[in-house]
Structure 1
Amino acid sequence: MSMIHPTAIVDPKAQLDSTVEVGAYSIIGPNVQIGARTVVGPHVVIEGHTTIGEDNKFFQFSSIGAAPQDKKWAGEPTRLEVGHRNTVREFCTFNLGTTQDKGVTRLGNDNWISAYVHLAHDCQVGSNTIFSNNAQLAGHVEVGDWAILSGYAGVHQFCKIGAHAFVGMYTSLTQDVPPFVLVSGNPAGARGVNIEGLKRRGFTRPQIDAIRAAYKSIYRNNLTLDEAKAALAQQQADAPDAAQHIGAMLDFLGSATRGIVR
C-alpha cells in the first residue's frame, strides 16, 4: 500500500525513502530528500534544498524549507538540514539559509519543537532541545544542545544560547546566554543556574556545585568579565570532575559576540 496520500503532491525529483508517509494535501518539492520512517502530516509544505533525516514527525500546517525572510536573498541554492527523531508540531516555519552566513539552517536530533515555532535563516540548533509554543528565532541564532526555550521567547538575530540553558516564558533576548544559565524577563536577566535541568540529565552534586560557583564568578562576585574568565580558569583546574563543563562556560565567554546577559 502506498504511504503517500493520493491528494498529496510529491515532485518526481524528490527523494523519499519508501517508508516515508505523506499526508493529505501536503506538497513536497523537487529538491527535497526525506529519510526512513519520517511522517509528514496533512497540509505540510516542504520545499527548497531541504534534507530531512530519519524518524521525524511533522504535524499539519508547517512550512519547511521556504525562502529566507531576508531581502538580500536572491534565489541562491541555500539549504535546510533536519536531523533524526525530531517532533515538529503544528504551524512551524523553518527557512533556508543565506549566502551571507553558512548558507544552511540546521536542526539537530531528538528535538521537541512545539507549535508556531520559527527558525529563521542560518539558525544552528543542536540536539535534545525543547522549544515551547511560539518560541521565535531571528536569523543567525545558535542554540546549544539540551537548551529549553519557553513559550513566546523571542531571540534577536546573531544571539547564542549555550548548552543546557533555560530561557523563560515571554523573554526578550538580545544578548548571549552562557551554558547552564537560566534567564527570563524583558529585557532578559540572569536568574541562576538551570539546576533542575542538570539534575534530570544526571549531573552529580559536585558538578552542579562547581557550575554554581562558576555562575557566581560571572554574575555575583562583582568581577569584570576578564576577571570572571580568570576565576573560571582557576575553578576549572580545581574541579576536575566539572572541568569540561566549566571549560564550556569559559569557551562561550570567549566567543560571545553580542555580550552576555548579565
Structure 2
Amino acid sequence: MTSNSVIHKDSQIGKNVKIGSFCTIGANVSIDDNCIIHNNVVIDGNVKIKNNVEIFPFVSIGSIPQDLKYSGEKTKIFIDENCKIREFVTINLGTKGGGGLTKIGKNCLLMVGTHIAHDCIVGNDIIFANHSTLAGHVIIENNVVVGALSAIHQFSRIGEGAMIGGMSGVTADVIPFSTVMGNRAKLSGLNLVGLKRNNFDKNEITELRKVFKYIFFSENKTLNDRILEIKKKKLNLIYCRFNSKLS
C-alpha cells in the first residue's frame, strides 16, 4: 500500500492486497486476499470484494445509484472472486426498492467503461466488452457475452449462454443460448460459438437447433402454444423454463 492513498481505518483489507497510489477506500469496504487495486481507484459505500479481483485505474465502485427514488438507505455491492475490472468502470449501489444489492459473479471481465447500475445481478463467467451499459435491475445469467457499446434496458433478463452483438439496444428479455443484435435488438439465431465453448456436444446442439427453429421461426400456432407443445414432449430444455417477456 502506498502512503498517498486514503484507506479508512475501519475498512477490512485481506492478505497480500496491493493498493496503488491515489486510491480512496471507504469505511464499509471489505477486500479479501490477493486483490490488486491499481492507481486512482475509488471504492466507497458498503462493498464486499472477494479473492483475486484486479481493479484497474479510474474505476468507481460503490457510488450512490443514479435513481431519483434513492434516499440514502443502506445498500450494498458484492463482487465475487477472480474478476477483472478495467479502466473507467462504474458499479453503483443497490436500492431499497430493488432488493438493496448489486452483484457481480465469479470470473467476470468488465472491459473499459462498462457501467453496472443499481440492483443488477450478474452471473458467473460474463464478458462485458468496452462501454457496455446495464440499466437498473437487469439480471444476467451465466456465460453471457455483451458486445461493445451495447445497452440493456432496466428490468431485462439475459438468459444463460446468450451473446449480445456490439452496438445493440436490448429492450426485452433475451432467450438462453441465443444471439441478438441491432437497435432495437432482434433474435438472430443460436449462439453456436457459446454452446461449443460450454461443452455442448453435437447431438445436444442439433436438438437445440430443431427446438429453437420450431419455437421462434415457425408460423404454426402462437408462441405460447409452441412452447407448451415442446413441454408436452418432455424435452428438458432451458428455453421452456425461461420466464421471458416474450411469453
| 8 Å Cα contact 2:103-2:119 kept in structure 1 | yes
What one-letter code is carried by the residue in structure 1 that aligns with 2:222? Answer: T
Aligned partner of 1:46 in structure 2 is 43
Instruction: Tell me, in whole angstroms, the C-alpha distance in 1 between the residues paired with 2:118 and 2:226.
Output: 33
- Matches of 1:124 and 1:233 in 2, distance apart? 28
| Post-superposition CA distance 1:214-254 (Å, at most 9, x none) | 2112211124221121133145x25xxxx3xx1x22121xx
Give the C-alpha shift of residue 135 in structure 1: 0.5
Select which of 178, 183, 194 maps to 2:180: 183
- What amino acid sits opposite 2:224 in the alignment? D
Per the alignment, residue 131 of structure 2 pairs with 134
Aligned equivalents of 1:259, 1:58: Cα separation in 2: 37
Aligned equivalents of 1:77, 1:193: Cα separation in 2: 41
Structure 1: which 5+ residue stretches go unaligned?
Answer: none
Equivalent in 120, 135, 145 of residue 142 of structure 2: 145
Q: Is the 8 A contact 1:104 1:122 kept in 2?
A: yes
Indicate yes or no: 2:13 matched with 1:16: yes
**Pick from 68, 86, 108: which aligns with 1:111?**
108
- The answer to whether the Cα contact below 8 Å between 1:21 and 1:39 also exists between their aligned partners in 2 is yes
Q: Distance in 2 between matches of 1:232 and 1:185?
A: 28
Q: Which residue of 1 aligns with 2:154?
A: 157
- SS of 1:65 mapped into structure 2: strand
Structure-1 residue corresponding to 2:241: 251
* TM-score normalised according to structure 1 size: 0.91
* Aligned equivalent of 2:201: 204
CA contact (8 A) 2:169 2:183 kept: yes
**CA positional deviation for 1:18:** 2.6
Query: In the aligned structure 1, how far is the partner of 2:168 from the partner of 2:209?
Result: 22
Question: What's the counterpart of residue 225 of structure 1?
Answer: 223
TM-score (ref. length: structure 2): 0.97
- The question of whether the paired residues in 2 share the 8 Å contact of 1:217 and 1:231 is answered with no
Q: Which residue of 2 aligns with 1:73?
A: 70
Give the counterpart letter for 1:224 in structure 2: T
Letter in 1 for 2:120: C
Amino acid across the alignment from 2:179:
L
Superposed structure 1 runs of 4+ greater than 3 Å apart: none
- Counterpart amino acid of 1:56? V
Q: Does 1:123 align with 2:120?
A: yes
Q: In the aligned structure 2, how far is the partner of 1:14 from the partner of 1:48?
A: 11
Q: Secondary structure at the match of 1:80?
A: strand
- Write out aligned runs for 1:56-67 (5 A): 56-67=53-64
The question of 1:31 aligning with 2:36 is answered no
Q: Deviations over 1:113-161 (max 9, x none)?
A: 1000000000000000110001100000000100000001100000000
Kept in 1, the 8 Å contact 2:216–2:223? The answer is no
RMSD across aligned positions (CA): 1.2
Equivalent-residue separation in structure 2 for 1:212 and 1:94 (angstroms):
36
